[in-house]
Amino acid sequence: MKPFDLPTPFSDRITRWLVTCFSAILLFLSGIQPVAAITQTAATESASLSSESFVATAVKRVGDAVVRIDTERTITRNVPDLLYDDPLFRGFFGPDTFQRIPQQERLSGQGSGFIVDSSGYILTNAHVVNQADRVTVTLKDGRHFDGTVEGSDELTDLAVVKIDADNENLPVAFLGDSNRVDVGDWAIAVGNPLGLDNTVTLGIVSTLKRSSATVGIPDKRLDFIQTDAAINPGNSGGPLLNSQGEVIGINTAIRADAMGIGFAIPINKAKSIQGQLARGERIAHPYLGIQIADLTPEMAKRNNDDPNASMIIPEVSGVLVIRVLPNTPAANAGLRRGDVITAIDEQRFDTANQLQSYVDQARIGQRLRLNLKRGDQTQTVTVKAAELDLDA
């Protein structure tokens, strides 16, 4: 071997290294990037694109179907004659001489909604359109339509509005599945809050199945989606979207003091009664006629240890009956204040919300077998679910 000769394997490695370097130089001079550089650049551009556009993409998918709903209604107030305020005339002629004059006043309101059918059906909140004499629907592209409230249900705060859009090209929202929503998912609220059209706010789903009673709205029967996406007056009736642009809820701004917290009606609840509302049918809500509260053995013991307690409560887990309304199915079946319901149709309940949800799923006229503790005794009572009359 000559003094400067290298071993063959080592010489081969040097040769391959020189060829690689020379090839890279030629590629650089010709404007062609190496494969690794191209892959890295594409990945960077793709990451930048996805992080920049998922909210915009979701909103574009549904945004054209979101509408503004303006309402007007007339109320009548009885305003006294001006002379009625004069004590001299009132004292001389008597308090019943001057008539109160009926005076009409026009009130306006605004909310949001979204088109769910190309024939012109729109979902919104019941409180947006309740008692409205006139409903005007404005699309994102500026088109205006007169709307008709086809159906409304106060307990679920849902309503369907119809616009006459023959031969019009109406955009339609994509409805998702609220049963597949998880805590921590993206939540995008779209609507017209405070009169500001086409507004989008972003947050996450902070909790699920937040009952209306827990929220402080006892006149509703709902389990809300709770979100930290801003929902303000005017957002009511607009869609709550997931990251794919599917409607998972209907925004409802019904708590003025809910700072940083918004609530939405799950879209599956709306889908279950949407057809009935569109046909103008009344939504039947079963009820028993009791006011109830959660009960644990610890809570019952604290009550029983209080010498001023108004009653002794069985120290068990269940649902405490705190009031039985007169002339109701519960009263007719013999339920009493202080009873503790532990199960219905052999299904156990530990919370009032669970019991209420079970009753909500019952049929009008269905007989429910209630297992309850009354003092030291265990009893079974059958209650026939009746339809709740909101006008009573």
Angle at 151 between CA 330 and CA 128, to 5 degrees: 95
Separation of CA 358 from chain center: 20
The 3-state DSSP class for residue 298 equals helix
Residue 122 and residue 160 in contact, taking contact as beta carbons nearer than 8 Å: yes
The amino acid sitting at 280 is G
Contacting residues for 36 by C-beta, under 8 A, at least 6 apart: none
Closest CA to 191 of 234, 252, 134: 234
Closest CA to 56 of 196, 168, 200: 200
127 part of the active site? yes
Q: Which of 64, 153, 157, 223 is catalytic?
A: 157
Q: Which of 127, 223, 317, 339 is catalytic?
A: 127
Contacting residues for 39 by C-beta, under 8 A, at least 6 apart: none
DSSP string covering 237-291, please?
A: T-EEE-TTS-EEEEEE---TT-TT-EEEEEHHHHHHHHHHHHTTPPPP-EE--EE
Closest CA to 282 of 162, 128, 126, 69: 126
Contacting residues for 59 by C-beta, under 8 A, at least 6 apart: 188, 190, 200, 241, 245
Residue 167 and residue 222 in contact, taking contact as beta carbons nearer than 8 Å: no
Residue 278 and residue 121 in contact, taking contact as beta carbons nearer than 8 Å: yes
236 part of the active site? yes
The 3-state DSSP class for residue 219 equals coil
Q: Which of 236, 285, 317, 339 is catalytic?
A: 236
Give the DSSP H or E segment for 207: strand 199-211
The alpha helices in 112-234, defined as continuous H runs, are 126-129, 212-215
Residue 252 and residue 236 in contact, taking contact as beta carbons nearer than 8 Å: yes
96 part of the active site? no
Catalytic residues: 127, 157, 236
